[in-house]
Amino acid sequence: MKMPSFKMKGIASAVLLGSTLSAASMAKAVDLNVVLLANEQDEEYDAALVFENYVESRTGGEVNVNVFVGPQLCGSANECFEAMQAGVVDLFTATAGGVAGIYPPIQGMDIPYTFPDDRTAMGMLSDPEFTDFLRGEILEATGDGIRLMTMTQTGGWRNFANAERRIKSPADVEGLRFRTIESEIQQNLVREMGGSPTPLPWLEVYTGLQTGVVDGTKNSISDITNMNFQEVLNHITLDGHAYMASMWLMGNQKFESLTPAQQRVVADGAALMGVVQFGMQPRKELEAYEKWNESGGEIYTPTEEEMEQFRSYAAPIRDWYLDNYGEEGQAFLSQLEAARDRAADEVQADRESALQ
């Protein structure tokens, strides 16, 4: 039987209305451009994918997340922060060295041996009071332009790795050329131990090691094997002189343009990214150490007595930091060290409970 024309018109109208509403809904979707300058092998990528799924599903598609890997929208921390201020980049992850471009005192995180162990380090970077302090500092430093969303880690612990000899104490660093980033604190550590700090762009490190421009590098085991440095390095000493803190930051104008419900989802999603990165790094280190061992490389773990010698180099660098960053540096270190004390107390209390 032929359907009456008025019903056909009603159905057509309903379909058209539904399509119009759907198109309107799609048109209202907010785009968030997430940028990481690492590659898809790094834990930042895993975190970004989790964030994308969480935000899109919890907002019912009101917020659309686009993940950009590598230098597609910007090629350095400073470029990415400029792009964030311009509204091209919405979320970006950077180390303390990168964030120093907008808030210089954060370099205090790289004072050697500030982070005592894994559990305490995670507690320090997850500490709400310290995070709140740093969020306010970055907002003020950027004229309310950039908001800290969460802190986590990227790559784990920096250690001394080289092609020449086993490093058992700071004295063994003497005469060796170590690649560093453009960071006075990192360069001062090598210099104080008698080595020669040599800044090199990351993509030039392999060639530098291969040709003898540098004898070694200060990186995590994951960074080393991701770049195949194990092919030109022979020794690594697990002194853990720095914990590679990472921050996810967001353009504050974009954040404030979201509805309160969307802001909550984005904030919770960012916190989840931090958890993912904390968890992924130890898993990735398993494969990294396996690659190192397969290459025939040596791993040396300093004794407690040897570690005390390494830690003794922290005090003069801390003094240098305070001389250069004054009251702002003192305020930052006070907050960082208070977070360390709180985290250490919590870890110790939990440890004692577990050992009863």
pLDDT per residue as tens digits for the range 197-218: 999 988 899 999 999 999 999 9
pLDDT per residue as tens digits for the range 42-85: 899 999 999 999 999 999 999 999 999 999 999 889 999 999 99
Cα-Cα-Cα-Cα dihedral of 341, 189, 137, 121, to 10°?
-30
What residues pair up with 187 in beta bridges, in sequence order? none
- Looking at every residue in the chain, the average pLDDT score rounds to 92
Question: What HEC string does 208-243 produce?
Answer: HHHHCCCCEEEECHHHHHHCCHHHCCCEEEEEEEEE
- Quick check: 20 pLDDT over 70? no
- Quick check: 11 pLDDT over 70? no
pLDDT at 226: 87
pLDDT at 3: 42
pLDDT at 16: 43
Threshold 0.85, pTM exceeds: yes
Range in 96-100, 176-180, 290-294 the model is least confident about: 96-100
Query: Beta strands of the chain (E only): which ranges?
Result: 30-36, 63-69, 91-95, 146-162, 177-180, 196-199, 216-219, 235-251, 298-300
Q: Given pLDDT bands bounded at 50, 70 and 90, which one contains residue 183?
A: confident
pLDDT at 6: 35
Average pLDDT for 12-23? 42
